[in-house]
Every structure is written in structure tokens, then in C-alpha cells.
């Protein structure tokens, strides 16, 4: 398998699932690690996130960034699989990659079982939330694009991030506690369940 063909096909063959919780289970952006996210921390985290996502550094998030990010991820994946770094992926390297992925899936399954989670139900829930095109994420990004130009500026990104923070900040003290995060998650789950139920009944 040569490098060019591999890079074109890896995107369809491999799926990377990003983590949403910071190390230790706290919120992302919690700079002092006290488990509570302040509005200033949320704003700083949004600034860093935008810079990371703006792959081509043109000051906006659009299709060009998604394409560049996909290519970057595919290149990194190729490098990981190409164990001997000869610019090609051999059958043995590909099979080893498959075995490693299977082992990681099994390990995740064991951890979910130990935590009392239903892996199948979790996959179905994620499919319902995100859909074939990453529905939930796409809707969030569409809401952030307030001027409808199919690109998200840093200002739009910051505004959307702080709006999510403010929605979770129930007592308006400019900080979101673990209890407020949990309440926001439960409210969102209830909203998703209501939407799925409405879709199922054709309402």
C-alpha cells in the first residue's frame, strides 16, 4: 500500500473519537484545577480552542480548516501505522494496527462494564445525538455562524462558547460548578430525548 493511497483511504477507515472531559474528570479550561470553571477560564479556553481549530490560521473556521485538519489527522495516523517508517504500510503493519484497535475496544468495553454502562446503549445514544453528519456538533457550529457566511470568526466562536457557559451558570455568579454542569447535561439529555420522541411519532 503506497503512501498516497493510504492517506486517501485512512480517513474513511479510521475513526478518532475526541475526549470531552479534562484529566481528572474536571471541566476543560479549568486552569486552577479546582473543579469549578469561571467565565474568565471559559473565555481563555475558547481562545485556545479556536487557535487550535483554525488550522490554516486565517482567523475563521470553515471548510478549508476541516479539510486541512482531516489531512493532518490522516498523516499522523499513517505515521503511527508505518512502524518501520519506510513510507509504506505493509500487511503486517496494517494487521498489527487492527489488532491494537481491537485490544483498545475490548479494554474500553471492560471499563464500561466495570462502571455499569451498557456499551450498546451508549453507541445508540451517541448515534442519535450526532447522526451521520455529526448532527449535534453541526447544529452548534451553525448557531455560532450568526452572519450566515458559512465560516465562524473568533468573535462568533467566543460568543457561542460564553453563551453555553452562561446557560449552565444557573445562579449567574460567573462560575460553573460540578452541580451546575450536571444539571446542564441532564437538561440537554431531556431535550434530546424529547426531540427523538417527537421525531419517532412524526410530530
In a domain, 196, yes or no: yes
Separation CA 81–CA 3 (nearest Å)? 11
Separation CA 28–CA 107 (nearest Å)? 24
In a domain, 136, yes or no: yes
In a domain, 23, yes or no: no
In a domain, 22, yes or no: no
Separation CA 154–CA 61 (nearest Å)? 8
The count of structural domains within the chain is 1
In a domain, 145, yes or no: yes
List per-residue pLDDT tens for the chain, 203 residues long.
444 433 333 333 332 323 334 544 568 889 999 999 999 999 999 999 999 989 889 999 998 988 888 888 899 999 999 999 999 999 999 999 999 999 999 999 998 888 876 555 555 444 444 444 455 556 667 788 898 888 999 999 999 999 999 999 999 999 999 999 999 999 989 998 998 898 888 75
Q: Burial code of 158-187, b = ≥16 C-beta within 10 A, e = fewer?
A: bebbeebbeebbeeeeebbbeebbeebeee
DSSP-based three-state secondary structure for 57: coil
Residue-by-residue DSSP string for 5-35: HHHHHHHHH-------SPGGG--TT-TT-SS
Separation CA 197–CA 192 (nearest Å)? 9
Amino acid at each position: 500500500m503506497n503512501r498516497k493511497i493510504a492517506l486517501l483511504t485512512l480517513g474513511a477507515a479510521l475513526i478518532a473519537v475526541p475526549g470531552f472531559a479534562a484529566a481528572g474528570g474536571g471541566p476543560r479550561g479549568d486552569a486552577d484545577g479546582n473543579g469549578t470553571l469561571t467565565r474568565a477560564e471559559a473565555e481563555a479556553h475558547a481562545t485556545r480552542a479556536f487557535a487550535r481549530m483554525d488550522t490554516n490560521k486565517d482567523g475563521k473556521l470553515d471548510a478549508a480548516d476541516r479539510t486541512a485538519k482531516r489531512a493532518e489527522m490522516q498523516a499522523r495516523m499513517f505515521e503511527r501505522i508505518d512502524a518501520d517508517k519506510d513510507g509504506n504500510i505493509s500487511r503486517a503493519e496494517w494487521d498489527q494496527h487492527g489488532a491494537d484497535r481491537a485490544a483498545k475496544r475490548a479494554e474500553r468495553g471492560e471499563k464500561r462494564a466495570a462502571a455499569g454502562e451498557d456499551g450498546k446503549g451508549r453507541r445508540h445514544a451517541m448515534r442519535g445525538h450526532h447522526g451521520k453528519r455529526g448532527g449535534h456538533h453541526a447544529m452548534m457550529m451553525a448557531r455560532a455562524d450568526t452572519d450566515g457566511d458559512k465560516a465562524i470568526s473568533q468573535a462568533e466562536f467566543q460568543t457561542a462558547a460564553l453563551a453555553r457557559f452562561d446557560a449552565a451558570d444557573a445562579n449567574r455568579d460567573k462560575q460553573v460548578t460540578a452541580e451546575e454542569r450536571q444539571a446542564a447535561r441532564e437538561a440537554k439529555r431531556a431535550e434530546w430525548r424529547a426531540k427523538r420522541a417527537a421525531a419517532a411519532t412524526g410530530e
